[in-house]
Structure 1
Amino acid sequence: MDLQFLRPLFDGDGDVASVHLDTSRGTADSDKQIELRWRAARSALAEQGADADALAALDGVVGGARDVPGPQGEALFASGGRVLAVHTMSEPPSGDTAVNLPVADPLPLALDRDHQLAHVVVAVDREGADVDAYPAAAAAPSFQRTFNGSTLHITRVRAGAVSHAAYHRRSVNLWSENTEQVAEDVREAAAEVEAAVILIAGDPKAIGLLRDHLTARPPRGRTVYVEGGRTDQSAIDVLRASVDEAMHEAMIESHRAVLDELEATLAGGHGLQGLAPVMEALSQGRVETLLLAADRADDPELVGSRRDPMAVVSDATALGDDATTFTAPASALLLRSAVHGNAKFTELLPGTRCADGVAAMLRY
């Protein structure tokens, strides 16, 4: 995963307030619950010495995506009275966090973004389809196409009578024409967002016709057939749940591929594990991909530098006469160094055994 979306968080010189909140919207009192969570986070930041202007700036933007129902989270960052970034997260963080540090602490946000893949959702029936394409980490689609085709004689009648044969053929032809256009929409949508996965649900007959058209000219990405549709709210709810499940499985598969690559690079001498060697490689700009475990409960404090944002050391004396050094949690400094070194990021999935929960694949 590209980390450059985090760069604005690491370009300043002052302390940064970093907040990750559960902003799920699924109950009548969601707004009140979010308000209470923010109030607790704000109090914690104030106790840590957060700048009053930064807190006031966050007051004006906190609250999550109000038009996105269901589970979600929000990551917010502010410094010196200025909001640095606000990001909607696809899932709530494992727990609300609010820290004021010399550097931004965006690990929960990075993990959430790392779990997301560009994808296309297709709900198809006998009259057409809804095609929505989502870039990675987008709460709303960047491509939307609703196609209802020609509804003339679209409903088939009971088979049997010879006099109905032409009527039936007309109906089948319209289904085929509609799904041919839907297939073209799917190809366009998948290309626009560089989709990793295409998820298709709906009427079995229409799905079969769409499958035939897509097989003839496959779109970008892997096609997965899921439950649900667009006929009513119940079908839409089933579609969302099955899409979430399928995307989680796709994420796991994607991560396993990266971890297989890590295993090969470690065996071939082009990978590292453990804090000390990874810190050194990041400081030298040799890291192609940084890998971190999500559980950083035992994260040590390391030393960073405002003068050299790629430097990460365990002892300030290693940076000589640098008067801009400061301490911060390892994960925050490792991510900062990775951003400035143009390294990518991937989570070390639970159960992956790696020294200190840290690894790196090297450029050279």
Structure 2
Amino acid sequence: MKLPMSDGEHPSRETHRPTETVVGHVMELDELKSVYAHEGPFVTVYLEGRAPGEDAEKQVRLRWQNLRERLEGEHADAGALDALEAALESGQFGEAQTNGRVLVAAAGDGVVLDESWDAALGGGDTAYAGRLPELGAHVREAAQAVRVLLVVTGQEDAELRRLVVAAEHEPDEVAREEVRGGAVESPHHVREGALAHRRIQRRADEAVRQNAKEISAAVGAAVAEFPPDILVLAGEVQGRTAVREQLSGDFAGLLEETDRGGRGDSGAETALLDEVLRIAAQHSTEAEAGHAARLEQAGANRLAAKGDPEVMKAAENGAVDTLLLEQGTDTKREALLLKTGARTGASVAVVQPGTGLPDGVGAVLRFPPEG
């Protein structure tokens, strides 16, 4: 996708896109423009997700009070702290305890971001007060999340689940729908071998195909509404095979198939979700490697920057197409890089640790750097 030039770019400057490598998903920083539109100073709070209990409300209050006292010691804006407290008071404490949250408040403007946050269990609560919001952890998680459309199918119907899988977490189910085929005939074969029943057998086969056609149409509509990184096809073998044969070739690059799982069986459900996690983790690893390969490929065309000074200069010039952050590495001036990237329509991706990026940061550029 060719991104528009920022106000600071020269209209005559030619914008390039390096030859594409398969790279997987990214986070578009445009999603954070409304946050950066505020002047600040800001207070950023991450509440870790934990198993809820009967005292969930009390626990969240205590955790927040500990953070507030620390922030007050750092002279955080009192109005921003009050706004965060009001947001937590008005929410469902049990939900905050289970899912975790990331909140940002701006001085004079109240809460400007309130999202679910799936930090790894044991990571703890964190809070920051400063001139910019500290959204690096939120952005990294969003960039690594894998969108999965899980289709658990039988011969007559299917269940479509829209999932978001963050690293080291159970799938977060966004939506679920039931699809039932409209075939009048039963898809189940008769067991008798009489010649008179062959016609019924053929009708049963046709019923399976008709149901599969309708299920695959529903899958196509779901893909359009919820574009996934992976389409996982599971369920009973005959129904699964029939749906796969009906799916358009457009889905070939998304499709993963598994014989794990079933409906109405808790053990099979656990096995299926484990398989979804495995597939998503493999996809994420491949995507991260693809982003690193894309950076090297871009470098051959002078469309890459590495290290904080080069990347910051490119970001300020509106040249960054995709900002690459190394997993597990603290990036210098990350908060400022994210704000600058949001202003110029950049995206963010995460690469594997040990890639050797100076300062843990790199960028694929829209046009070569000046000089």
The CA distance in 2 between the partners of 1:7 and 1:58, in whole Å, is 20
The CA distance in 1 between the partners of 2:320 and 2:181, in whole Å, is 50
Native 8 Å contact 2:57 2:93 kept in 1: no
After the TM superposition, which residues 171-320 of structure 1 pair with which residues of structure 2 at under 5 Å, given as runs?
171-214=204-247, 217-219=249-251, 221-226=253-258, 227-297=260-330, 300=332
Native 8 Å contact 1:20 1:108 kept in 2: no
The CA distance in 2 between the partners of 1:184 and 1:107, in whole Å, is 39
The structural deviation recorded for 1:103 is: 0.7
Aligned to 1:53: 79
Q: Does 1:17 align with 2:43?
A: yes
The CA distance in 2 between the partners of 1:248 and 1:206, in whole Å, is 27
CA displacement 1:141-192 (0-9 Å, x = unmatched): 4784532545864444435444544443333332221111111111222123
CA displacement 1:88-121 (0-9 Å, x = unmatched): 2355474432111111000111011101244322
Q: Please, which of 73, 97, 115 is the counterpart of residue 87 of structure 1?
A: 115
Give the letter for the 2:155 counterpart.
R
The CA distance in 2 between the partners of 1:221 and 1:95, in whole Å, is 38
Q: Does 1:347 align with 2:350?
A: yes
CA displacement 1:288-335 (0-9 Å, x = unmatched): 2211224345x55xxxxxxxxxxxxxxxxxxxxxxxxxxxxx111111
CA displacement 1:322-358 (0-9 Å, x = unmatched): xxxxxxxx11111111111222211132121111111
Give the letter for the 1:50 counterpart.
A
Q: Please, which of 108, 111, 115 is the counterpart of residue 144 of structure 2?
A: 115
The CA distance in 2 between the partners of 1:340 and 1:15, in whole Å, is 18
Runs (5+) with no aligned partner, structure 1 = 301-329
Give the letter for the 1:108 counterpart.
A
The CA distance in 1 between the partners of 2:201 and 2:323, in whole Å, is 59
The CA distance in 1 between the partners of 2:274 and 2:160, in whole Å, is 17
Q: Percent identity?
A: 26
- Higher relative contact order structure (alpha carbons within 8 Å, sequence separation ≥ 6): 2
Aligned-pair Cα RMSD in Å: 3.2
The CA distance in 1 between the partners of 2:93 and 2:146, in whole Å, is 19
**Any idea what SS the aligned residue of 1:109 has?**
helix
**Any idea what SS the aligned residue of 1:268 has?**
coil
Q: Please, which of 193, 196, 201 is the counterpart of residue 168 of structure 1?
A: 201
The structural deviation recorded for 1:203 is: 0.8
Q: Does 1:5 align with 2:34?
A: no
Aligned to 2:153: 124
Q: After alignment, is 29-38 or 53-62 more displaced? A: 29-38
The CA distance in 1 between the partners of 2:51 and 2:228, in whole Å, is 27
Aligned to 1:76: 103
Native 8 Å contact 1:187 1:218 kept in 2: no
The structural deviation recorded for 1:132 is: 3.4
| Count of residues in correspondence between the two structures | 332
The CA distance in 1 between the partners of 2:341 and 2:105, in whole Å, is 21
**Any idea what SS the aligned residue of 1:108 has?**
helix
**Any idea what SS the aligned residue of 2:300 has?**
helix
Q: After alignment, is 95-104 or 45-54 more displaced? A: 45-54
Aligned to 2:69: 43
Q: After alignment, is 229-238 or 345-354 more displaced? A: 229-238
Native 8 Å contact 1:186 1:219 kept in 2: no
The CA distance in 1 between the partners of 2:200 and 2:244, in whole Å, is 24
Give the letter for the 1:222 counterpart.
L
Runs (5+) with no aligned partner, structure 2 = 1-25
CA displacement 1:260-304 (0-9 Å, x = unmatched): 11011223322111111222222222222211224345x55xxxx
- Shift of the 354–89 alpha-carbon distance from structure 1 to 2, 3 Å rule, reads same
